[in-house]
Structure 1
Amino acid sequence: MIIVPESEIAALISAQDCFEAVEAVLAAMARDQAVNFPVIREALGHADALYGFKSGFDREAAVLGVKSGGYWPANAARGVANHQSTVLLFDPDTGRPRALVGGNLLTALRTAAAAAVSIRHLARADARVLGIIGAGHQAPFQLRAAAAQHPFERVVAWNRTPERLQGLAEIAAELGLPFEVVSLERLGAEAEVIVTITSSFAAILRDAHLRAGTHIACMGTDTRGKQELEPEILARARVFTDEIAQSISIGEAQHAVAHGMIGPADITAIGAVITGGHPGRCVQDEITLFDGTGIALQDLAVASRVARLARERGVAQQVGV
């Protein structure tokens, strides 16, 4: 078995590597060649922490494994990231452990890659203004990934605390993109692609904010009760997701489903668009929405890519088991 520590990962894998890995595994899911297993997530009753397991198997890529981790809210005061995770990969032929891979950076990269996949396959080709709602740890990854997959010419952004958007402004300048902090009303009116990446438990983006033809990548809702959008948005949008079961239970669609506005049959797995089984955007002026809930197979796909690169470049730590 090899170990790929967190400290090595940034130098090993690129955003493009992650995009390709996530796109490929979503396509494998559409071909019924990859499956996520039930998620376990529990409050520890210690340190206010949430802890859980996500696992799955990609038959096409022969990737089997589990991501273990969670959220420790007091970590920031200790100088440690609040989100902590590790991926363990197994040989699907024997069950023997194959690799132990740090999962913190990979989680951020695969989340951004999933949004970028949705932009590549669902946004209008003529979209030029990117809107970002949120300024937390994940937002810079979203900006970089989106800009790498689509020829945006300008970025507009909103956050409850506007001064926290300075980091995004600096990244936009690095990418050569004009950047402006705007109201939610202006963001909805001007942005042709919107990425929401907050930890909100109440709707932020309103149906009345949106212009025709917008694509929304809703990436913050991954837990029961979380919410970034008015459910009316999903009621009139063409809705896609990484996995329908998670979308309706812990994703953004949970609220529209609970209100009887949409059902599971109204949601399409984005893998079907990647493989050509669904046309994706059917009308230029329709709103498309990607409900990115975060699935185990995405974590396993990028961890497997990292493990392969670590072996090839001689930075993997070999250990006996």
Structure 2
Amino acid sequence: MRVITSAEIDRALTFPALIDALSEAFRGGIVTPVRHHHEIERAGSHGTLLLMPAWTGPATEGGFVGVKVVSVFPDNGAKNLPSVLGTYLLMDGATGEPRAALDGTRLTVWRTAAASALAARFLARQDASRMVMIGSGSLAPFLIRAHMSQRPIREVALWNHRPERARDLAARLQAEGLPVTAVTDLEGAVREADLVSCATLSAEPIVKGAWLKAGAHLDLVGAFNLSMREADDEALRKAEIYVDTHAAKSEGGDVALALKSGAIAESHVKGDLFDLCRNSPQRADDAITLFKSVGAALEDLAAAMLVWRHLPQTS
């Protein structure tokens, strides 16, 4: 069995290719059982253990079986560790023989950003050029690059509740040639933005619906449980809402909480990534759109298969 490192994943993947692979996966026949979700009690913030299986359907020649084991420990930032860690096990679809163990943390940031960009392919205006990135954790650089691969973004405003972290990340991304500037006026930046992406662990809403201009697209990636929130009820009521899978209606913050409180009706959620990829709905230029993701096992499998196929195979 081969061990595939984060560096190898980075060499194998590009956002145009991974976004296309996810689009094909959401149109295809990958089987995704309900994931296992376990809370781990700790003295500080509780941890979470996720088990996410998926496999290709019988019509897929060869095929694969995969499972991701993920731990989420929100206090890891104080220990200079990512809050999300994991490993992906890729197996032969015909025999179940283990083929590779991939760095699940790296695979997750790639596929999460690609899923958001896939949604934006349908939901963001074609001429979207101003982006706001809220959060400066490990996902932020990937979300910026992924969205830039789909829309003509020429300005990225980066905000974090700790301004020094936003400045540090902005400087690193500027050195790569990306048009990223750290900002402290979040409201002003959001009011001008065509696309707003959030990847935080905030317990309270950060983005207010009153700030969103006509035609804006809001991408909500953080708030992975019911104690977290990135956007207020007004933002959800004003928007045409899509989710990655139906799990977002009950598992994550934002959409699940708004449904639970009655702030929005279930009919307010227009569809998921399966609907977007299969039906390609049209959006009005002045519509406010919103995408909420909680992660899907088929995204991990699609990403792992793409990595496997693009790496040199050893004898």
Task: Give TM class, smaller chain.
Answer: 0.7 to 0.9
Greater alpha carbon shift after TM alignment, 56-65 vs 129-138 = 56-65
Please state how far the C-alpha of 1:79 moved relative to its aligned partner: 5.8
Please state how far the C-alpha of 1:80 moved relative to its aligned partner: 4.8
If the length of structure 1 is used for normalisation, what is the TM-score?
0.86
Which residue pairs with 1:44 in the alignment?
Answer: 40
The superposition leaves residues 14-60 of structure 1 with CA deviations (integer Å, 9 ceiling, x where unpaired) of: 333322222222232xxxx2342212222334685432201123326
Task: Give the alignment of 1:149-188 within 5 angstroms.
Answer: 149-170=150-171, 171-172=173-174, 174-177=176-179, 179-188=181-190
Aligned pair partner of 2:263 in 256, 261, 264: 261
Question: Which runs of 4 or more aligned residues in structure 1 lie more than 6 Å from their structure 2 counterparts after TM superposition?
Answer: none
Query: CA contact under 8 A between 1:184 and 1:209: conserved in structure 2?
Result: no
Structure-1 separation of matches of 2:22 and 2:168: 26
Matched, 1:132 2:133: yes
Which residue pairs with 1:99 in the alignment?
Answer: 100
Structure-2 separation of matches of 1:175 and 1:149: 17
The superposition leaves residues 165-205 of structure 1 with CA deviations (integer Å, 9 ceiling, x where unpaired) of: 12442314633526251422212210011101111121111
In structure 1, what residue type is equivalent to 2:99?
A: R
Looking at both structures, which has the greater relative contact order when contacts are Cα pairs under 8 Å and sequence separation is at least 6?
1
Alignment partner of 2:230: what SS?
A: strand
Which residue pairs with 2:116 in the alignment?
Answer: 115
Greater alpha carbon shift after TM alignment, 150-159 vs 49-58 = 49-58
Alignment partner of 1:216: what SS?
A: strand
> For the aligned residues, what is the CA RMSD?
2.4
Structure-2 separation of matches of 1:258 and 1:77: 32
Structure-2 separation of matches of 1:100 and 1:145: 25
Please state how far the C-alpha of 1:64 moved relative to its aligned partner: 2.3
Structure-1 separation of matches of 2:220 and 2:109: 15
Percentage of matched positions with identical amino acids = 31
If the length of structure 2 is used for normalisation, what is the TM-score?
0.88
Alignment coverage as a number of residue pairs? 308
Please state how far the C-alpha of 1:248 moved relative to its aligned partner: 3.4
Alignment partner of 2:144: what SS?
A: helix
* Gaps in structure 1 of 5+ consecutive residues: none
* Gaps in structure 2 of 5+ consecutive residues: none
Greater alpha carbon shift after TM alignment, 223-232 vs 193-202 = 223-232
Structure-2 separation of matches of 1:236 and 1:121: 18
Task: Give the alignment of 1:1-321 within 5 angstroms.
Answer: 1-28=1-28, 33-45=29-41, 49-59=47-57, 62-72=63-73, 80-170=81-171, 171-172=173-174, 174-177=176-179, 179-267=181-269, 268-275=271-278, 277-281=279-283, 283-310=284-311, 313-314=312-313
Query: CA contact under 8 A between 2:248 and 2:292: conserved in structure 1?
Result: no
Structure-1 separation of matches of 2:305 and 2:68: 12
